[in-house]
Structures are given as C-alpha cells and as structure tokens.
Amino acid sequence: MSRLSVQVRSSAPVKGKLLVINELKQKIQDYVSELAEVKSDLDNLTIEEPKNRKFGDLSTNAAMVLAPVLKKNPIEIAEKLKEEVFSGWNQIKDVNIVKPGFINFNLKDEFIKEALREIVTGKEKFGFNQSGMGVSVQLEYVSSNPTGDLHIGHGRWGALGDSLANIYDANGYKVFREYYVNDYGTQVEKFSDCARCIYLRHFGRDTDYPEDGYPEAVVSIAVARLVSKYNDRFIIEKDREKDVEKESFKKEIIKIMVSYISETLTSMGVEYDQWFYESWLYENSNFQKVIDDLKNKDVVYRKDDALWFRASRYVDDKDRVVVRKDGNPTYFASDILYLINKIERGYDRLLYILGADHHGYVGRLRAIGKALGLAEDRIVIIIGQLVKILKSGQALKMSRRKGKFYTLRDLIREVGKDAARYFFSMNSFDTPMDFDVSLAKQKSNQNPVYYVQYAHARIENIIKKIRGTSPGNLDIDKYNLDMVDTSKIEFKSENERQLAKIMILYPDVVYNSCKINAPHLITQYLYRLATEFHYFYNNFRVLNDNGDGATVDVDRFILIMLTRRVLRNALKLLNVEAPEKM
C-alpha cells in the first residue's frame, strides 16, 4: 500500500477550509502566475509525504516541474520558491532543499494542533468542503442489461460509482445517482423469448429453448419469481395451445430482473435516486421529434436507406447509423436520446462510468455532445478496467456457456459487503485488478479492510476499558470532545505528532479524490492512518495503572478520539462499516 500521495490539480482550494496541501499549491500557483512568461497549470506538481520521515512532513517537486518552463536550474528555482513562497507561509517551521530540486518542509506543531480543532468542530462533516456548491452532477454507473446476473466488474463499477457519488457530495455538489435500464431492443426481446419458453413449460406446454438464448439458470430464477407473484396470469389460448400475452409478459419479466439486480446492488450498499428505463425515451413520439430537430441542425443525413449521424465531423472516427434500413433505431439512437434527456433535466456535469468493453462509446458520446453544443468538460467519461477473481492465489476460470460463472452475488455472499466495497475501491478506475477472495476473508492484518476496521475497533476497546476502570482523572461518561482545546495538546512522541499530522491532511484527500475522480485515494489514506494508529497502540499507553489507581493520559485520549472520528468519516465515504468490536 503506497504512502499518502496526491496529485494536485490547478483548481483553487476553498477559502476558510483546512486544505494544507491545496492551500500551499495555490500559493505556488499564484506566485507562478505573476511570471508573465509562464503558461502552465502545473498539473504534474505534487505535494506528498516523503517515504523517509527524516526529509520532513511534506515534499514537493514544484521546482522540477517549473524548470523546463522557466528554463532554469531546479535548485535555483527551489531557492526562489523557498524565499518568496515558503518563507511567507507561517504554517511552515523550516524548509530544506535537496537534489535534484525537491523542497522538503516541516509544519509547525502549533499549526498542527490548531488544525485539529476542525475535527472537533466538523464532527461527521470533517473533511467536507463546498467547492462544488451550486453545481449539479449526475452519475450513471453499472447499467447492466436486465438479461442476466451481475458479474464482478459490475460490482466494481457499483462500489466505485457509489463511493464517488459520496465524495462529490462531500465536496458540496448536488449529486444524482442513476441506473440506465436497457429495456428496449433485441436483447430484451431475446431474454423475453427465453423466459416465455420456461414459463410455458411450467404450465405444461413443451417448447424449444432458443439456440442462442441466455443461460437457463438465470432466466429460470426470473420465471420462478414471476410464477410466484402472478401464477398463470399471462397464459392465453392461441391456436388451441397455451401461449403468453407477449408484451405484458416482457414488461413484467424485465421488471423482475431489474428487481433482482437491485437486490444484488443493495446488498453491497449501492442505491440509486432513479432507475431510468430506455423505453421512456421513445414515448410520446419523442424519437421522431429528436430526429426532426437533428435534421434541422444538419447533424444527420440519409444514405443507403439508413439515417446516419455526422459523428466524424466532431471527435468520432466515423459516422454512425441512427436508424437502420428497416426503420428501427440503433443503440446509438438511444445514446443520443438519453444524453438529450439528461441535458434537459438541467445537470451541470454528466458522469458516465463504463466498463472496459465500452471504449467505443467515448468518441460517440463526445461527438453527440459537440453536435449539441455542450462544453467539453460537461461530459466526463470514466472507462474502468477488468477484474480477475483469485482464490488461494489461482485465477478462477469462468465460462457463461459452461455455467461456470462466479457472480457478484456469489462474491458478496462469500466475503461480505465491506470487504467487497473496500477491495473494489483500492485501485484506480483505469487499473486492472485482482480480487483475492481468500485474502478478503482473512481476519488478519494482511487483509487491508480488516486492518483499517481493526484500528477503529481497538479505539472502541480502549474506551470500553476506560469506562470499566473508572480512572480518577477522567469521567468518560461526562467527557465531551466538542469542548476540547486542541491547541493545548502535548505531543510526547514523534508518533503522536505524525498521527495528528495525518489527520489534518484528510480534507485535502477528500478534495483531491473528487477533482481527479479517485476513490482509491480514500483507501490509501485510511490504510496510512490505520498504520500510524496501530503503531501508536502497540507502543504507547492511554490508560495507565501504576498501583496507585488508574489514570488516563488525556492528550493521548484526545488523539484517539479524533482518530476515531476521522476513521469513521473516511469509511463512510466508501460505505464501509466502522465496527465497535472484531
């Protein structure tokens, strides 16, 4: 697990909030902007904890990033930054420059202690900011066809999408979570035909299952639920044989599959504000109205008896068919309708989380957006990479055709919600991941989610012991963290100072995880905080009993109470529990 590290973007931090890294980044940027010859947004500038603590609290590569722009030696630039930026930032105790141009610095103890006060006042909102206030963002994720079970990749997009929605909310955005239900087109018709066959068999009519149909195991689950709810309601007599009323049957079997998918996602803590049905896009002659509007804008044309969208005029590699020769709309037509619908609902930012097999959608969606006159940054497309399931170090070989298919339900049932969500959130969207089921089930420090949750449980255990011991210098039942003056805390060890420093960096992590769409920054932070706490727990005592009666080291008690609050807040963003005991 890597150390706490964030790539700082150029967005200005929120005034009045504790953003240590981003405030310093802004000061550097303000300084650079005064140099007329510099035209750089410093995207590659990082401020991070160095691997070796002896180098300081934080380190930045700012001088090396600026070197090619300013055409000067990094050491010379570092000296200039030290003199004109760092020396004027009164939170800094000292600055040291090392080759090839890193700027290392320490924070003042007084600043760290004062900054801890924000944990006290912020409570469950500590780490939140209002950088996104007034901006609405719609996140659409998972959106698997209602024609089968969810696979492991869907679980990854569900966990990451839901966590990212929480992170956007923590940054002040107005968030709307949506699942797009593909209930229109050939795949749904095929699934309905498969279900119809099994349904008729249940009521005595022997029918041939479609050769290219979906696996019967999943379809049978949906049909069993349909029968349980409606019995033979959809059976009709046709040509003296039993059949079904196809349209109403199709609608109901799809509803049941959507409910089945919803149950799976809910068991992983993934909920939506709306399940949006593709069929809604074609109601009330909406499709023809949109086509007429696109014709008026000259973004569609007719060729070979089909209707084409001028995608190549914008950012796509070729034009795309909107309406086939037979008059039926394509999937691309639905993409156009859905994007227009989102725009009409007034969202400021549209965020799509798509699987690895959807790279082709990027150009299409951007082409539609450009044709409609949308600003490029209004549509954000995240392409996620694949997940491989490991058991005892061996990859599971899966095949839908042979019935060897390890589903998301199987995974949640085996490892639980918390492990599933935490493991899915440990890697960047664009990184393929191995999900080690055996590791996720371990109750040991090798399991990262157990390791983090155990830190919280240990704090709860300390509190329980103090309550049971009734020390003479602290009545825990009357103790109120909200009344604590953090500026008076005494750091008796470097570890205590480190623990405090890591806590005050949490708001920066929340801010940056939103700016670069990176929930994995939260898991990295949690592991870092848990590591520092576990070292503290193993080497320092909060409750002392020297024979003259038990006493509590109040400064250390305050630190663990603050740690508990930060652990809870960060775990909540991932929708992972903070257990009281383990």
The whole-number pLDDT of residue 188 equals: 95
Pairing, β 102-107 against β 92-98: antiparallel
**Domains of the chain with CATH codes:** 5-107 (3.30.1360.70), 136-182+268-383 (3.40.50.620), 186-266 (no CATH), 448-573 (1.10.730.10)
User: pTM here?
Assistant: 0.93
- Give the integer Cα–Cα distance in Å for 218 and 264: 13
156 neighbors 420 (Cβ within 8 angstroms): no
253 neighbors 192 (Cβ within 8 angstroms): yes
The whole-number pLDDT of residue 12 equals: 54
Count Cβ atoms below 10 Å from residue 308 Cβ, excluding itself: 19
Instruction: Give how far the C-alpha of residue 43 lies from the chain's centroid of Cα atoms, to the nearest Å.
Output: 21
Angle 341-344-348 (CA atoms, 0-180°, nearest 5)?
105
pLDDT tens-digit map of 71-96: 889 999 999 999 999 988 999 999 99
* The amino acid at 5: S
Q: Is the dihedral of CA 527, 383, 141, 13 positive or negative?
A: positive
Place of tokens 């090798």: 446
- Give the integer Cα–Cα distance in Å for 378 and 147: 31
| Structure tokens that stand for 504 in this block | 């005050």
pLDDT tens-digit map of 256-267: 999 999 999 999
- Give the integer Cα–Cα distance in Å for 77 and 535: 38
The whole-number pLDDT of residue 241 equals: 86
Question: What parts of the chain have a pLDDT lower than 70?
Answer: 1-16, 35-41, 398-404, 547
Residues 6+ apart with CB under 8 A from 212: 190
**Per-residue b or e along 232-247, where b marks 16 or more CB atoms closer than 10 Å to that residue's CB:** eebbeeeeeeebbeee
The whole-number pLDDT of residue 432 equals: 93
The whole-number pLDDT of residue 94 equals: 95
* The amino acid at 381: I
The whole-number pLDDT of residue 355 equals: 87
The whole-number pLDDT of residue 581 equals: 95
CA separation, residue 160 to residues 145, 177, 511, 513 (Å):
19, 12, 16, 12
The whole-number pLDDT of residue 449 equals: 98
